[in-house]
A and B are shown apart, each in its own frame.
Chain A
Amino acid sequence: MDYLYFPGCTLYTKAKNFDQTARNCSLLLGFELKELPNWTCCGATFPLATDNLMALLPPARILANAREQGTTLTTLCAICFNVIKRTNRLIQQDGEKRDKINNFIEKNYQGDLRVLHYLEILKKEIGFSQLREKVKKPLAGLRTAAYYGCMLLRPFEEMEFDDMERPTLFEEFLEGLGTKAIDFPFKIECCGSFQSVGSPDVATECAYKILGSAIKSGAEIVVSTCPMCTFNIDHKQSDIQKKYLDFKTIPVLYFTQLLGIAMGLDYRSLGFEQNAVDPVPLLKEKGLL
C-alpha cells in the first residue's frame, strides 16, 4: 500500500537525509511515499489563541488537498505531524471552525483523513515484528537512546501517539532493528526548541542535559524524530562543548537513517554529511557499515 506523504520544508533543506532515507526504506519495506502535490508550509506551530483561524489555514489546505488524493496522510517531522494532526482533529470536532475554514479555502473538508506518523505506519501497518524479519543487517551491539521530544506526544488526548509520560513505541522500533534501546529520564524533555534563536543558552543547557542523561544511561547514539530537536541536540553540540568542558560528543541520527543501515542501504546514501557529529567512526567501529 502507498501513502500520501507530506515532507515539510525542513526535509527539503536541512533534513534531506531524513527525507531520503525514509523514502528509500519504504520502498524496501514494500510501500511508497507518494509526495503530496503542491504542498506548502504547515505553519510550524499549532495556534493556541482560539480566534487565530489564519494560522489554521495552511494545515487545513494541506489536509483538504490530501483528502482529494487519498485517505491517509503521513509525515516525518514531529512538528509538522503535531500541527497537521491537531488541525485535522479540530476540523473534525469543531463544526463552526470547520465551516469558516472551508469557506475561506473554498473546500469542503470534513476532517476524515487519517494522519499517521511514519513510525506509526511501521508499527500499525507493517508491525515491528514483521520489521524484525525484514531487517537485513540487525544492529546488534548498538546501544541507542530514543529521544521523543515533546511534539509527538503532547497534548496526549489529541496526539494519541503513546503514553505521554512513559512512551515505549520508539524503543520498540529500535529493538526491532536489533539495537539495545536504553531508557533515560530525559527522553521526553524539551530540546529548547526555538529558544535556540532568542536565548541560545537556554537551548544549550536543555541539550546538554538530554545528551548527558543519555550518555550516563549508556547510550552510544541518540535517535531523533524531529529536525528541530536534531538542530538543538546535534548541530549545537559544538556550543555545548564550549560551555561545558566535560562534555563529550555523541552522534544523533534520524530513526530512518538507522533503519536504512539495518535495511542494508549503502551508507553513502544515508546523508551522514548532514549530521553535525559524524556517526561514521562509531558505526564502523561497531562493524555496522
Chain B
Amino acid sequence: MKADETFTKRAMVIGGGIAGISASIDIGNGGYEVVLVEKLPSIGGRMLQLSETFPTLDCAQCTLTPKTVETGQHPRIKLLTYSEVDSVEGKAGDFTVRIRKKAAYVDWEKCTGCGLCQQKCPSKNPSEFDRGMGLGKAIYTLSPQAVPNKPVINPDQCRYFLEKKCRVCEKVCPVGAIDYEQQDRFVEERVGAIIVAVGFDLIAKDRFGEYGHGQIQDVIDGLSFERLNSASGPTTGEIRRPSDGKIPREVVFIQCSGSRDPERYMPYCSRVCCMYTAKHARLYKHKVHDGQVYIFYMDIRSTGKGYEEFIQQGMEEEGILYLRGRVSRIFQDGEKVAIWGVDTLTGKKVEIFADLVVLATAIVPQRETKELAKKLGIVADEYGFLTEAERKLRPVETNQEGIYIAGCAQGPKDIADAVAHANAAASKVQALFARH
C-alpha cells in the first residue's frame, strides 16, 4: 500500500481519565504521536478520586499513578492540560483543532513544581476534588502526584483576584513563575484522528427532594465516600462523617439513587453502583469492625468477572445487611439521619436512624459533552451520552470517520470496561493510520 503523504498520522485524545490515558499510551506505543487534552490541571480523571477499586480492593492511586506518570513521560504523548477544545474543522486525516489553554496564572515553563506556593497560600476553600468536604488552597494541584505537577490559581478564590491584596505566592515562588496577568491562549493542533473520552459526572444530590435536597450534611454521594475513605482525602482515610467528624456506627447505602427511575430521574442502569456500594460497605467494615451496614437495593447486578463472588463475600463474611426495597424519605432527626424505607421481601416498612447515608447517585454525562459533540459533528443521545456507529458491532466508532469514542462518555462503565473500550478505540486509530 502506498503511503498517503497528506494524511496526518497523529491522534488527539480528549479527556485524560483512565480511558483517555489508556488510549493515549496505546497509540503512543504503536509509534504515533498523540495530543492529550484535559480540562483539569492534571490527568487521572475520576479514578484519581477513588480510594480502592473492585473487585480486587487494590488502591486506585497505586494502580493509576504508574499510568499517569507513563503518560506524562511518554516521548510521543503531548499533554495539554487545563485546556478545552474550542473548535474542530476538517475530516479524517486532516483535522484542525483549536484549543483554549486556560489561564493558570502560573508560568508552567518556569514552575518547578516545588509546592511552596500551595503551602503558603492563605486562602482555604472547600475543595471540589474532595467533593466540598476538605479544604483546598486557591493555588492548587489536584493531588501530590499530579501529572503534570504544576499548580493553577482559581481566581474565584484567590485573595489577590478578589481583593487586590496578598500576592503571597508571588513572593514565595523561587523562580518567579506566578503571573497574575496571564490570559487564556489559543493553540492549533493538526491531527488525523480524534478519540473522545470525556467521562461522566454524577447526578446532583440536591435534585432528590425526598432525600433532603442535598441539605442534610450526612447524606453524601458515592464519590464523597471515596474521598472519605481515601488516604489522600479530607480525613486521611478515616471514615468520619461530614457534620461533626464522628465515626459513623450505622451506615445506610441506597443503590439506584436516580438510576432506573424513568418517571423522575434517569431510566437507565448506571452499571457500577451495585459493585461500588458493596465495595464501600466492605471497606467501611474493614475500618469500623463493629459498625452496621444496611444496603437498600432493587436487585444486584454483578455481571463482571469475580463480581458476584465479591458481593457474596460481603453478605456472608462481613455481615452486610441487604434490604430489597426503596427508600421514600430521609430527614435529619437530631444527630441522626432518619431513613424510611421498605423491605419488599418481608413486606415490612423499615425505619433506620443512621449516622451516615451514602447515595449511589446515577452516572450522567459531563455537562459539556453535548456541546462538544456538536463541535465534532457526532451524535449525542437524549441524555448527552455519545452515540456509537452501531450498538453491537461498532462500539467505538461514530458517524464521522476518524472520530472515536471511549469510556463513560459513551455510557456508564466500570474501569475494566472503560479501559477495554479505550484499547479498542486506540486500535481503530492505529488501523486507520496504518491504512494510509
Give residues in A with beta carbon < 8 Å to B.
163-166, 185
Q: List 16 A-B contacts (CB under 8 A).
A: A163-B209, A164-B209, A165-B208, A165-B209, A165-B210, A165-B213, A165-B329, A166-B209, A166-B210, A166-B212, A166-B213, A185-B329, A185-B331, A185-B332, A185-B333, A185-B338
* Residues in B neighbouring A163, C-beta threshold 8 A: 209
- Name which residue of chain B comes closest to A167, CB basis: B209
> In the complex, A56 Cα to B165 Cα: how many Å?
70
How many whole Å from A185's CB to the nearest CB in chain B?
A: 4
Beyond known contacts A165-B213, A185-B331: 10 more, CB 8 A cutoff:
A163-B209, A164-B209, A165-B208, A165-B209, A165-B329, A166-B210, A166-B212, A166-B213, A185-B329, A185-B338
> In the complex, A164 Cα to B209 Cα: how many Å?
8
* Minimum-distance CB pairs A-B, first 5: A165-B209, A185-B331, A166-B209, A165-B210, A166-B213
How many whole Å from A220's CB to the nearest CB in chain B?
A: 20
* Residues in B neighbouring A165, C-beta threshold 8 A: 208-210, 213, 329
> In the complex, A166 Cα to B213 Cα: how many Å?
8
- Name which residue of chain A comes closest to B338, CB basis: A185
> In the complex, A185 Cα to B336 Cα: how many Å?
13
* Residues in A neighbouring B212, C-beta threshold 8 A: 166
* Residues in A neighbouring B332, C-beta threshold 8 A: 185
- Name which residue of chain A comes closest to B331, CB basis: A185
> In the complex, A166 Cα to B208 Cα: how many Å?
9
* Residues in A neighbouring B338, C-beta threshold 8 A: 185
> In the complex, A164 Cα to B210 Cα: how many Å?
9
* Residues in B neighbouring A164, C-beta threshold 8 A: 209
* Residues in A neighbouring B210, C-beta threshold 8 A: 165-166
> In the complex, A165 Cα to B338 Cα: how many Å?
15
> In the complex, A166 Cα to B205 Cα: how many Å?
14
How many whole Å from B136's CB to the nearest CB in chain A?
A: 30
> In the complex, A185 Cα to B339 Cα: how many Å?
11
- B residues 198-220 near A (Cβ < 8 Å) are 208-210, 212-213
* Residues in A neighbouring B333, C-beta threshold 8 A: 185
- Name which residue of chain A comes closest to B334, CB basis: A216
> In the complex, A166 Cα to B329 Cα: how many Å?
11
How many whole Å from A169's CB to the nearest CB in chain B?
A: 14
How many whole Å from B281's CB to the nearest CB in chain A?
A: 26
- Name which residue of chain B comes closest to A188, CB basis: B329
- Name which residue of chain A comes closest to B328, CB basis: A165
- Name which residue of chain A comes closest to B213, CB basis: A166
> In the complex, A166 Cα to B333 Cα: how many Å?
16
> In the complex, A165 Cα to B330 Cα: how many Å?
10
- Name which residue of chain B comes closest to A166, CB basis: B209
> In the complex, A164 Cα to B329 Cα: how many Å?
12
How many whole Å from A160's CB to the nearest CB in chain B?
A: 15
* Residues in A neighbouring B208, C-beta threshold 8 A: 165
* Residues in B neighbouring A185, C-beta threshold 8 A: 329, 331-333, 338
> In the complex, A164 Cα to B338 Cα: how many Å?
19
How many whole Å from B209's CB to the nearest CB in chain A?
A: 3
How many whole Å from A137's CB to the nearest CB in chain B?
A: 33
- Name which residue of chain A comes closest to B333, CB basis: A185
How many whole Å from A10's CB to the nearest CB in chain B?
A: 29
> In the complex, A166 Cα to B210 Cα: how many Å?
7
How many whole Å from A123's CB to the nearest CB in chain B?
A: 19
Chain B 288-315 interface mask (CB, 8 Å, partner A; 1/0): 0000000000000000000000000000
How many whole Å from B192's CB to the nearest CB in chain A?
A: 49
* Residues in A neighbouring B213, C-beta threshold 8 A: 165-166
- Name which residue of chain A comes closest to B211, CB basis: A165
How many whole Å from A119's CB to the nearest CB in chain B?
A: 19
* Residues in A neighbouring B331, C-beta threshold 8 A: 185
How many whole Å from B331's CB to the nearest CB in chain A?
A: 4
> In the complex, A185 Cα to B329 Cα: how many Å?
9
> In the complex, A59 Cα to B329 Cα: how many Å?
33
> In the complex, A163 Cα to B338 Cα: how many Å?
21
User: Which residue, A163, A164, A166, has most C-beta atoms of chain B within 10 A?
Assistant: A166
* Residues in B neighbouring A166, C-beta threshold 8 A: 209-210, 212-213
> In the complex, A163 Cα to B332 Cα: how many Å?
19
How many whole Å from B206's CB to the nearest CB in chain A?
A: 10
Chain B 212-244 interface mask (CB, 8 Å, partner A; 1/0): 110000000000000000000000000000000
> In the complex, A164 Cα to B213 Cα: how many Å?
12
> In the complex, A166 Cα to B209 Cα: how many Å?
5
* Residues in A neighbouring B329, C-beta threshold 8 A: 165, 185
- B residues 11-66 near A (Cβ < 8 Å) are none
> In the complex, A66 Cα to B204 Cα: how many Å?
43
How many whole Å from A182's CB to the nearest CB in chain B?
A: 13
> In the complex, A166 Cα to B212 Cα: how many Å?
8
> In the complex, A185 Cα to B334 Cα: how many Å?
12
- B residues 319-340 near A (Cβ < 8 Å) are 329, 331-333, 338
> In the complex, A74 Cα to B152 Cα: how many Å?
58
- B residues 78-113 near A (Cβ < 8 Å) are none
> In the complex, A165 Cα to B208 Cα: how many Å?
8
> In the complex, A205 Cα to B210 Cα: how many Å?
22
- Name which residue of chain B comes closest to A155, CB basis: B263
User: Which residue, B208, B331, B333, has most C-beta atoms of chain A within 10 A?
Assistant: B331
- Name which residue of chain A comes closest to B263, CB basis: A157
How many whole Å from A15's CB to the nearest CB in chain B?
A: 29
- Name which residue of chain B comes closest to A157, CB basis: B263
Chain B 338-374 interface mask (CB, 8 Å, partner A; 1/0): 1000000000000000000000000000000000000
> In the complex, A163 Cα to B329 Cα: how many Å?
14
> In the complex, A165 Cα to B212 Cα: how many Å?
9
- Name which residue of chain A comes closest to B210, CB basis: A165
- Name which residue of chain B comes closest to A186, CB basis: B331
- Name which residue of chain B comes closest to A163, CB basis: B209
> In the complex, A165 Cα to B209 Cα: how many Å?
5
* Residues in A neighbouring B209, C-beta threshold 8 A: 163-166
- Name which residue of chain A comes closest to B264, CB basis: A156
How many whole Å from A208's CB to the nearest CB in chain B?
A: 15
How many whole Å from B337's CB to the nearest CB in chain A?
A: 11
- Name which residue of chain A comes closest to B208, CB basis: A165
- Name which residue of chain B comes closest to A156, CB basis: B264
How many whole Å from B359's CB to the nearest CB in chain A?
A: 14
How many whole Å from A149's CB to the nearest CB in chain B?
A: 15
How many whole Å from B212's CB to the nearest CB in chain A?
A: 8
How many whole Å from A257's CB to the nearest CB in chain B?
A: 28
